[in-house]
């Protein structure tokens, strides 16, 4: 699920309420298995779909929230985990059944700030009771309550409500650099080609930044770290901004003149889609780490692990060397469940999150924030332990007219 940056819409409800049928009706395709046998859908299943007049979304078909037995309990757990990553929920009820299961689901929607629509399905078999309809409209908090009859083809009504309910932040495309650069500015991107660089292409944050520079009608210059000094000397160009890979922060800091703003791709993403305020407050907590403390590193995608991996090797080494403490490090990749209790950790370090939505990233860190466990970002942590934190975040602090002393 973490590899899709499109808006995510989750379909929830009891077994045999017609969730899969509803998905097939929405998409006009038989993409979800339909059966009279309750519990046909086991693990969450996702499908990319284009909503006419809106755009592409990811529909997630989930197991019934009333599944039973040990295996059923695990399916329900996986269903609930998806709520952290969705932008909109559709709660499917049928036969006027609305009880504890639905109320608990709604509680989870509210907890993770997911707007939701209630669909009373199978209207052709048993229409929605007027009393229940009134209750749902008044007290459920739903954006809309829709009566759905698979034979009458009221798919358009549901799609119209989806368009109204899904938050603009789920599909809007704000700028990475819009508040940092102006028309005609020259932006220098320092992109090392090392063992972790994908063969024949660039990593996603680099590609996103190049596109964003062009979208802002600025000039993008891309070069490797060993070419920076020669390029600046020969051309005499003074860029309006330099962006580097976090792993070579020290080299970039030495090469880029001090009056040129410098940051990293990871910090750009942290400001763009992360909880930047919490990162600013959490990063200095690196100084408070003690022997035996445990640090959690969250990668939001899965990838081939090299011998000098940034999350598994470099960041733990840099933090350990900086603090001089004996620390324990755990890495969780993708959007997998964190196996330890979050309070076992003294610090959580989140990657840039280039492969996931802002909603997924924010909810990934929600438990830590709720328990007041400090959180930071790969790039900001790297800059901090290398002694160039102030310079790396200064472009964003200045743009907000804030003072770094507020975060130290």
Q: What pLDDT does 24 receive?
A: 81
What pLDDT shows up at residue 34?
47
pLDDT at residue number 304: 46
**Residue 27 confidence (pLDDT):** 77
Q: Name which CATH class applies to 8-170.
A: alpha beta
In sequence order, the β-bridge partners of residue 220 are 187
Q: What is the pTM of this model?
A: 0.73
Q: Rounded to an integer, what distance in angstroms lies between the CA atom of residue 311 and that of residue 306?
A: 10
Nearest to 386 by CA among 280, 242, 246: 246
Domain boundaries of the chain, sorted by first residue: 8-170, 186-268, 275-389
Mean pLDDT by 10 residues, the chain (408 residues): 68 92 77 49 74 82 90 89 92 95 95 94 92 92 89 80 84 80 96 70 87 95 95 96 94 96 94 92 97 94 58 93 97 84 96 83 91 96 96 82 58
For residue 239, which of 266, 264, 221 has the smallest C-alpha distance? 221
Q: Which CATH architecture has domain 275-389?
A: 3-Layer(aba) Sandwich (3.40)
Quickly name the fold that domain 186-268 has: Rossmann fold (3.40.50)
- Comparing CA positions, the residue from 18, 46, 259, 13 lying closest to residue 151 is 18
Please tell me if the domain spanning 8-170 has the same topology as the one spanning 275-389. yes
**How far apart are alpha carbons 163 and 83 in whole angstroms?**
19
């Amino acid at each position: 699920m973490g590899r899709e940056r499109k808006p995510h819409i989750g379909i929830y409800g009891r077994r045999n309420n017609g969730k899969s049928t509803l998905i097939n009706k929405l998409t006009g395709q038989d993409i979800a298995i339909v059966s009279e046998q309750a519990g046909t859908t086991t693990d969450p299943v996702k499908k990319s779909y284009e909503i006419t007049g809106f755009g592409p979304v990811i529909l997630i078909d989930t197991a019934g929230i009333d599944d039973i037995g040990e295996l059923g309990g695990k399916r329900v757990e996986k269903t609930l985990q998806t709520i952290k990553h969705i932008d909109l929920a559709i709660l499917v009820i049928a036969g006027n059944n609305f009880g504890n299961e639905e109320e608990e689901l709604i509680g989870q929607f509210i907890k993770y700030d997911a707007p939701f629509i209630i669909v009373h399905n199978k209207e052709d078999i048993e229409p929605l009771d007027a009393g229940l309809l009134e209750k749902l409209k008044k007290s459920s908090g739903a954006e809309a309550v829709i009566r759905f009859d698979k034979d009458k083809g009221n798919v358009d009504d549901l799609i119209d409500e989806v368009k109204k309910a899904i938050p603009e932040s789920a599909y809007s495309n704000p700028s990475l650099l819009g508040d940092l650069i102006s028309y005609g500015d020259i932006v220098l991107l320092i992109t090392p080609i090392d063992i972790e660089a994908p063969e024949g292409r660039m990593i996603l944050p680099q590609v996103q930044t190049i596109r964003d520079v062009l979208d802002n009608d600025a000039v993008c210059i891309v070069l490797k770290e060993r070419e920076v000094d020669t390029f600046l000397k020969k051309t005499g160009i003074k860029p309006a901004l330099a962006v580097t890979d976090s792993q070579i922060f020290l080299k970039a800091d030495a090469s880029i003149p001090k009056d040129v703003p410098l940051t990293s791709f990871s910090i750009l993403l942290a400001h763009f889609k992360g909880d930047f305020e919490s990162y600013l407050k959490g990063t200095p907590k690196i100084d408070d780490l003690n022997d035996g403390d445990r640090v959690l590193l969250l990668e939001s995608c899965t990838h081939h692990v090299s011998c000098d991996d940034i999350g598994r090797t470099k960041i733990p080494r840099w933090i350990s060397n900086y603090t001089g403490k004996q620390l324990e490090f755990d890495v969780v990749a993708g959007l997998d469940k964190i196996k330890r209790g979050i309070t076992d950790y003294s610090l959580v370090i989140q990657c840039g999150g280039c492969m996931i939505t802002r909603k997924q990233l924010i909810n990934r860190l929600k438990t830590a924030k709720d328990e007041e466990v400090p959180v930071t970002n790969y790039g900001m942590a790297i800059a901090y332990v290398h002694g160039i934190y102030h310079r790396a975040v200064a472009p964003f602090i200045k743009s907000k007219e804030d003072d770094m002393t507020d975060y130290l």
